[in-house]
Chain A
Amino acid sequence: MREHLTVYLTMIRAAVITRLQYRADFLMGILGVFILNAGTLGTTWVLLNRFHELNGWGFWEIVFLYNLWLLGHGIRAVFFRHVTNLEQFILDGTFDQLLTRPASPLVQFMGREIHYLGVGDVLLSALMIGLAYQNLALDWTWWMFLWFLLVALSSAAVELSLLLMLSCTAFFTTRSRALVDAATQFSWGVVQQYPIDMFNNVLRFVVTVALPFAFMNYYPSLLLLGKEGSDPFGYLTWFTPLVALFLLWLTARVWNFSIKRYQSTGS
């Protein structure tokens, strides 16, 4: 474990030096992230300006939902944005090189890059969650704040695991991008923007069990917003960190299995 950490930290150091070469993009990137999210939130605002609520969720509750997702996503994106790029690593031979070194390929792959765009996500979401907290007149106890931190990390872990598992298909088919893109639509296209209790059971099942992106924001929000009674499955809100841990464990298994497959099929 300590060895993994040493390797990871050394690699992160190299990744930071890499990133510092492109400092000029930094501000533009962060600004871009702000505007992009403002555009999406703006659309929601236009709707709720007219309809006042969506299936029992008010504007600021949706803002909270949206930004809890963004917070987890942002934390993930800072350190692990490149997991969906695994396909490229395999195609251009970078991955093969990881296999010729006496260290875990997973640790080496994870430490390969860091990204600043996620910083924009984290900043914006923290700000917006703060605003939502005020506008909703929430009043959390201190342990709720700790729970919130745990939830944010779990949210990042859930996204990381799901994306990495999906990207592992690159070991089988060389092309995983399309699959990842299609699957992440359940994330940014469904879970991030809408309270999932408005959808039918099939879709709910997909985002709760098959691709449990809903644990990034919907389920944890229920407790944080005091809405756990509004959903018959509201008790799932307590399981968020457990789900994250389970997914991380599963990802490690899937990863090892996929590498074995890759080594024996070569594509």
Chain B
Amino acid sequence: MALIEVHNLRKEFKKLVPKTGFLSGIRNLWNTDYTSHVAVDDISFKIEEGELLGYIGPNGAGKSTSIKMMTGILVPTAGEISIAGMTPWKQRREHAQNIGVVFGQKTQLWWDIPPIESYRVLKTIYKIPDSVYEKNLNTFRDLLELHEFENTPVRQLSLGQRMRADLAAAMLHDPRILFLDEPTIGVDVLAKERLREFIKEINRTRGVTILLTTHDMADIEKLCHRMSIIDDGKLLYDGSIHDLKSRYGTERTLVIELDDAPYALHIPNTRVLREEGSRVWIAFDKEKLSASDVMMKVAEKHTIRDLTVEEPEIESIVREIYQSGLDRKKEDGHVAVLDV
């Protein structure tokens, strides 16, 4: 049995439908029209002990809602979750002892006091033995350079520092599972690097199972082997990043530098993306053509001075998946889940 098992998870929220049009302001005073909004729609997956899973999706996809159910904050409308053999919302306290949670948007530390004082409270709440507490704190002082700011009130910390302090807080009680909801939000490149190092490190050395959401695909590429994409509450993809690239990222871009200006480059099954002086970007589907096919077609009319083939960034694949989700929504609710 996997460490985390999620079966047919579903969450609905009720929303008030505001009145529009004539005197809408006044008519809203006795408005009682509710609709039900499905934030998480029939999601199932499993996570094995020690995995590091990237959980991504556009704004409002239902990522945070899923995490809230897995951490025992919310009870699903339907479906089951079993984490380390427990149901989060039923055995909330025992479950809480097993997990660490970071909501990047909102610190769990006391705002006006130094992190070290917050840690003391957490020590009591999680009943952390002195020895474990000291050992962990020292480790995090090393890994996250906590000592720089552990005595400064949280409100005076930079976002990067605060996030480090929050990560340490979530790890103090040696949780088996860590839920990170946008842990790199608003953090600069260098600080991100450091956070990623830490996340990787605890996953590797401590075997902590991690579920992480982010809008930064670099996080995913550098950290995760496996990712899940959800949109509009539905699971669109669940698998390795490698597979995602080979499955959806069949488009390649050939960048060619010519001797002269490009003209009459009408090669079937390709698109010219961009021209810039003597350079040209040509996109093709690697299932249909090979790079050398394209190159030869170009060489018939031009002298090629230089060329490179660009693999798609995970970012652009994801963008396309999100975009197709948007288009689908515009087509008025017609839903076709990508076949995985």
Complex contacts, A13 vs chain B, CB 8 Å: 120-121
| Interface 9-residue window, one of B96-104, B138-146, B242-250, B305-313 | B96-104
Q: Is residue A201 within 8 Å, beta carbon to beta carbon, of the partner chain?
A: no
Question: If the complex has contacts A7-B124, A11-B121, are A266 and B11 also in contact, measured as CB distance less than 8 A?
Answer: yes
Q: Is the CB of A7 within 8 A of B125?
A: yes
Q: Which residue of B lies closest to A3 (CB)?
A: B127
Q: Could you tell me the distance between the alpha carbons of A7 and B153 in the complex, rounded to whole angstroms?
A: 21
Q: Is the CB of B75 within 8 A of A264?
A: yes
Contact B74 A100, beta carbon cutoff 8 Å: no
- Pick from A11, A93, A103: contact of B93, CB below 8 A: A103
Interchain CB contact under 8 A, A101 and B112 = no
Question: For residue A55, which residues in chain B have a CB less than 8 angstroms away from its CB?
Answer: none
Q: State in angstroms the CA–CA spacing of A264 and B75 once bound together.
A: 5
Within 8 A of B (CB), among A81-128: 92-94, 96-97, 99-103, 108
Measured in the bound complex, the distance between the Cα atoms of B110 and A94 in whole Å is 10
B121 touching A10, Cβ below 8 Å = yes
B47 interface residue per 8 A CB criterion: no
Interface positions of B from 192 to 225, Cβ below 8 Å from A: none
Chain B, residue nearest A16 (CB)? B113
Any A CB within 8 A of the CB of B72: yes
Contact A14 B113 (CB under 8 A): yes
B8 at interface by CB-CB < 8 Å: no
Could you tell me if B96 and A267 are in contact, using CB atoms closer than 8 angstroms?
A: no
* Interface positions of B from 121 to 163, Cβ below 8 Å from A: 121-122, 124-127, 153
Determine whether B71 belongs to the interface, using a CB cutoff of 8 Å to chain A: yes
Q: CB of A230 within 8 A of chain B?
A: no
Interface membership of chain A positions 1-42, coded 1 if the CB is closer than 8 angstroms to chain B and 0 otherwise: 000001100110110011001000000000000000000000
Does A200 belong to the interface (CB within 8 Å)?
Answer: no
Q: Is B266 in contact with chain A by the CB < 8 A criterion?
A: no
Residue of B nearest to A108 (CB): B125
A10 to B111, CA, bound (A): 16
Shortest Cβ distance from A105 into B: residue: B92
Residues of B within 8 A of A101 (CB): 96, 122, 125-126
With contacts defined as CB atoms under 8 Å apart, how many contacts are there between chain A and chain B in the complex? Answer: 80
A141 in the interface (beta carbon within 8 A): no
CB of B73 within 8 Å of the partner chain:
yes
Of A101, A264, A267, most B-chain CB atoms within 10 Å: A101
Bitwise, B81-124 to A at CB < 8 A (1) or not (0) is 00000000100111011010101011010111100011011101
- Which B residues lie within 8 Å of A21 (CB)? 112-113, 153
Set B13, B110, B124: member contacting A265, Cβ < 8 A: B13
Asked whether any CB of chain A lies closer than 8 Å to the CB of B19, the reply is no
Rounded to whole angstroms, the CA-CA distance of A108 and B125 in the bound complex is 9
B125, A97: Cβ atoms closer than 8 Å: no
Assess whether B68 is interfacial by the CB under 8 Å rule: yes
Q: Are A6's CB and B13's CB within 8 A?
A: no
Contact A99 B73 (CB under 8 A): yes
With A6-B124, A10-B120 as given contacts, are A100 and B99 in contact (CB-CB < 8 Å)? yes
Choose one: B72, B106, B120; the contact of A93 (CB below 8 Å): B106
Determine if B14 is an interface residue (Cβ-Cβ < 8 Å): yes
Contacts of A17 in B (CB 8 A): 112-113, 117
Q: Indicate if the CB atoms of A100 and B101 lie closer than 8 Å.
A: yes
| Residues of A close to B103: CB separation below 8 A | 93, 96-97
Beyond A97-B106, A263-B89, is A14–B118 a contact (Cβ under 8 Å)? Answer: yes
Instruction: Determine how close the nearest CB of chain B comes to the CB of A7; give it in whole angstroms.
Output: 6
Known: A10-B125, A264-B74. A18 touches B92 (CB 8 A): no
Contact between B72 and A99 (Cβ–Cβ < 8 Å)? yes
- State A6–B65 Cα separation when bound (angstroms): 32
B76 to chain A: closest residue by CB: A264
Q: Which residue of A lies closest to B120 (CB)?
A: A10
Q: Let me know if B13 and A267 touch, CB within 8 A.
A: yes
Contact present for B13 and A92 (CB under 8 Å): no
Taking A11-B121, A17-B117, A96-B68 as contacts, is the C-beta distance between A102 and B73 under 8 angstroms? no
Interface pair A100/B72, CB less than 8 Å apart: yes
Known: A93-B105, A99-B72, A266-B11. A18 touches B113 (CB 8 A): yes
Give the residues in chain A near B118, CB-CB below 8 Å. 14
B95 CB to closest chain A CB (Å) equals: 8
Contact: B13 with A266, CB < 8 Å? yes
Chain A residues, Cβ within 8 Å of B14? 265, 267
| Inter-subunit contact A266/B74 (CB<8 Å) | yes
A sample of 16 more A-B contacts (CB under 8 A), given A21-B153, A264-B75, A266-B68, is A10-B121, A13-B121, A14-B110, A14-B117, A21-B112, A96-B68, A97-B101, A97-B103, A97-B108, A99-B73, A100-B71, A100-B73, A264-B77, A265-B14, A266-B65, A267-B13
Residues of A in contact with B (beta carbons under 8 Å apart)? 6-7, 10-11, 13-14, 17-18, 21, 92-94, 96-97, 99-103, 108, 260, 263-267
Q: Could you give 12 example pairs across A and B, Cβ below 8 Å?
A: A7-B124, A13-B120, A14-B121, A18-B111, A21-B153, A93-B106, A96-B68, A97-B103, A99-B72, A99-B73, A100-B72, A102-B93
Which 4 interchain pairs have the tightest Cβ spacing?
A: A102-B96, A10-B124, A18-B112, A264-B75
